[in-house]
Amino acid sequence: MNEALLVQTQGYDPILPGASLGVMGGGQLGRMFVHAAQAMGYHTVVLDPDTQGPAGQASDQQIVAAYDDAQGLAQLAQAVAAITTEFENVPAQAFTALGKLNRVAPPAVAIAIAQDRVAEKVHFQHHGVPVAPFAVVDSPESLQAVAPTLFPGILKTSRLGYDGKGQVQVANLQELQRAWESLKQVPCVLEKRMELDFEVSVVLARGFDGSIVTLPVQRNIHHNGILASTLVLPGSIHPDVEEQAVHVAKSIAVATEYVGVLCVEFFVLKDGRVIANEMAPRPHNSGHYSIDACDVSQFELQVRTLASLPLLQPRLHSPAIMLNILGDLWFDEDSDEPRHPDWATVLSYPGVHLHLYGKSQARKGRKMGHITITAKTVEVVLNNAAKVAAHLGLPQDFAQANV
């Protein structure tokens, strides 16, 4: 049996608590994976060049090395029984190399697709996944060939764009030309701007054996390209929308022979159609509520998929609203001196769960943590979330989300 086939076959063998699991990346998603793994009895090893990263603080061990450092990768592969990632911008080649040495999930090919919007759109189209009309802009000739029907649109860099970065709205060919120049003429995708009703996401887990489970469909609200709040309120999304989103998300996982936790973000159009926006080959910000509102969180699912443990369908035991906490809360409008938000008052409201990520320095726009509000009823969740948001000065768009 060759080495690659051996690793694939071993992917079906359970890795039991007491073993060590590895994670590429030291951010907050890695930190929450570490917490979930440790709660289940596993040891953890993080590879991250930052000695002060959130995941490294919590992990049993950290390998301080660049993500493409051959020696560091070999050390990680030798130290653990299996390896996952907490962000999609880990070099796909590094994950390919790790896959030759050890069990990995997700597969490197899924990471490579998610890193490149052009590859992602083409992959979606090839497998019949509905997407917004688009065109690739990677040369002056391709720019001039853009169809007028794609305006107004959004020009997005093909690589390294997240949380609204690398995106410019354009209304015509002239604006497209200026926008492409402002983005240094890197390869881009122009997407037609659609008439959106709202946005949703699906977090699923797929095992080595092909079994799939999903979290409830999540309704998301963004500000300046960054997720502001996630609503998981029974009855707030039409069943047809939920069915479309789950079906497409599962089809994407199957098409990429995916193993691990996957998030697919969708636009819900005014006419009720659901189109895919992008996928993230990892747990997702919009799934954080599952730690407090479900009997199996997205991070426990990440552990279970990596370790080939049985996948259980998560059960939502409480309606929930998740509020993202950015570094802006540490600053008054007229001051650059940080101060601590009033967490004591926030925690006086029932059903409030505070999660801070251990980041040493608050910066405006930086994700510092999240708050999940749970309760027995949708009405109580909305009421308590409004109180928390008002106290912290957070947007309350969720109150008008037709729920």
Question: Is 314 in contact with 335 (CB distance < 8 Å)?
Answer: no
- Flag whether 161 is marked binding: yes
Residues 6+ apart with CB under 8 A from 85: 23, 24, 25, 95, 106, 111, 281, 282
Q: Among the residues of 23-158, which ranges form H helices?
A: 28-39, 54-58, 70-79, 92-99, 108-114, 117-126, 140-144
219 is in an annotated binding site: no
What is the rounded distance in angstroms from the CA atom of residue 200 to the CA atom of residue 261?
Answer: 17
Q: Is 359 annotated as a binding residue?
A: no
The tokens describing 331, both together, are 């600053």
CA quadruple 390, 392, 395, 400: dihedral sign: negative
Report how far residue 382's alpha carbon sits from residue 403's, in angstroms, rounded to the nearest whole number.
9
Asked if residue 164 belongs to a known ligand binding site, the reply is yes
Residue 8: which residues within 8 A CB-CB, separation 6 or more?
none
**Residue 265 marked ligand-binding:** no
Return the biggest CA–CA distance within the chain.
66
Whether 174 has a binding-site annotation, put simply, is no
- Is residue 277 annotated as involved in ligand binding? yes
State residue 117 phi and psi, 5-degree precision.
Answer: -65, -35
CA distance 184 to 319: 45
The reply to whether 222 sits in an annotated binding site is yes
- Quote the crossing angle between the two packed helices 70-79 and 92-99, to the nearest 10°: 40
Q: Do the bridges between strand 82-85 and strand 20-24 make them parallel or antiparallel, or are there none, so unpaired?
A: parallel
Neighbours of 365 (CB within 10 A): 13
Sheet holding 134-137, edge to edge: 134-137, 188-192, 153-157, 167-170
Give the contacts of 97 (CB within 8 A, at least 6 positions apart).
70, 73
At 279, give phi and psi (nearest 5°). Answer: -120, 155
167 is an annotated ligand-binding site residue: yes
Report whether 42 belongs to an annotated binding site. no
- Can you tell me the distance from the alpha carbon of 300 to that of 32, in angstroms, rounded to the nearest whole number? 9
Give DSSP secondary structure letters for 341-398: --HHHHTTSTTEEEEE---SS--TT-EEEEEEEE-SSHHHHHHHHHHHHHHHT---GG
The answer to whether the annotation marks 278 as part of a ligand binding site is yes
Binding-site positions for ATP: 117, 156, 161-167, 199, 222, 277-278
Extract the annotated binding site: 117, 156, 161-167, 199, 222, 277-278
